[in-house]
Amino acid sequence: MFSIKDFKARLFSTTPDQFEAKAIALFHYQYQAVDIYRHFVDQLHINPDNVRQLTDIPFLPVTFFKSHAITDVADSLPACYFESSTTTGLIPSRHYVKDPSLYRKSLVKGFERFYGSLSQYVILGLLPHYLERPHSSLIFMVKEWMQVSKHQENGFYLNNMDALFHTLQNLEARQQPTILLGVTYALLDFAEQYPMPLQHTILMETGGMKGRRKEMIREEVHSLLQQAFQVNGVHAEYGMAELLSQAYARCAGRFACPPWMRVLVRDSYDPLDVSSAGQGALNIIDLANIHSCAFLATEDVGRVYADGTFEVLGRLDASEWRGCNLLVA
């Protein structure tokens, strides 16, 4: 019998050979507990008893989060929720989070698998658009990083780029390891106004032009940032409001997932044609989404490799542009 308590206790110790069994068990729980997901599966005429491997699982389109409360909560909705970033006038997705501690654990443990202990880094956030949104999962994430990091220099920067420049100068002079996480258009603005060598700072972009600059391919963005800051590469974070886990790219835009998250690929014209590798639209399994839906069909197009890493190559036609996704035609 499926136990939420046991699943949570073992979630972040998931190994690759355990992933499929855990995902199938979570699918059967969510089919029973999440009304919207069950109706979706039933409308596809899929017998849950026939779901025996990852590629059998029905993936819920992320657009459902715009119009429905996707949750296993039977009575009142959780007080905590995250909203997606959208272009003005468009409807945001809303992800109700019953257990925020899961997100805290996921975002810290996920980061530290790729970069080591947060305590060694100063965390600087150049996220002007997101700071204006009270339900941003990205701001929640960076605040948690800062709380764990505990460095007094941690901070967010809205439009005060001169202050950011002087902070980075001081940190570089001290050879202090630093993470500068920024929305793409703000990083490009900063690069134009304050080019400087960053030898002890990891430059990490989250994507997003927000209509402030023309859309650019990833290689062009990274080339400009590398030249301005004299770094060998630009890192990237892939996440969205509908997920409680993130993937990271430490080079060349190729993302890797923590062990409790996996990306599959589906045919852009046949959503039930799902493969573990190849090119097409991206499906994500996030086992940390215990209380909502762990199986999401995104509007991103990409390439998934045999080793589980993936690239984001763009968006499906006619889908909305989202702030956490960098278009790379």
- Identify which has the larger pLDDT, 169 or 325: 169
328 pLDDT higher than 70: no
Residue-averaged pLDDT of the chain:
92
Within a domain: 232 = yes
What is the DSSP secondary structure assignment for residue 126, as one 8-state letter?
A: E
Q: pLDDT tens for residues 301-310?
A: 999 999 999 9
Within a domain: 243 = no
What 3 state SS string does 255-306 have? EECCCCEEEEEECCCCCCCEECCEEEEEEEEECCCCCCCCEEEEEEEEEECC
| C-alpha dihedral, 144 to 146 to 150 to 156, nearest 10° | -150
| Full residue range of the structural domain in which residue 287 is found | 4-79+257-315
Q: Comparing C-alpha atoms, which of 175, 219, 166 is closest to residue 193?
A: 166
Q: How confident is the model at residue 218 (pLDDT cuts 50, 70, 90)?
A: confident
Within a domain: 219 = yes
- Based on the fold, state whether residues 219 and 132 are members of the same structural domain: yes
Are the C-beta atoms of residues 314 and 279 closer than 8 Å to each other?
A: no
Within a domain: 168 = yes
**Measured distance CA(292)–CA(102) in Å, rounded:** 12
Q: Tally the domains of the chain.
A: 2
The model's pTM is 0.92
Q: Comparing C-alpha atoms, which of 299, 303, 290 is closest to residue 33?
A: 290
Q: How confident is the model at residue 50 (pLDDT cuts 50, 70, 90)?
A: very high
Give the pLDDT confidence score for residue 210 in this predicted structure. 58
Looking at residues 199-214, what average pLDDT do you find? 80
Looking at residues 109-122, what average pLDDT do you find? 98
Are the C-beta atoms of residues 61 and 284 closer than 8 Å to each other?
A: no
Give the pLDDT confidence score for residue 327 in this predicted structure. 32
Q: Comparing C-alpha atoms, which of 305, 232, 248 is closest to residue 116?
A: 248
- Identify which has the larger pLDDT, 275 or 130: 275
62 pLDDT higher than 70: yes
Distance of alpha carbon 266 from the chain centroid = 19
- Based on the fold, state whether residues 109 and 184 are members of the same structural domain: yes
**Measured distance CA(324)–CA(250) in Å, rounded:** 17
- Based on the fold, state whether residues 232 and 148 are members of the same structural domain: yes
97 pLDDT higher than 60: yes
- Based on the fold, state whether residues 56 and 172 are members of the same structural domain: no
- Based on the fold, state whether residues 118 and 60 are members of the same structural domain: no
CATH of the domain at 134: 3.40.50
Distance of alpha carbon 30 from the chain centroid = 21
326 pLDDT higher than 80: no
- Based on the fold, state whether residues 230 and 263 are members of the same structural domain: no
**Measured distance CA(85)–CA(90) in Å, rounded:** 9
- Based on the fold, state whether residues 113 and 221 are members of the same structural domain: yes
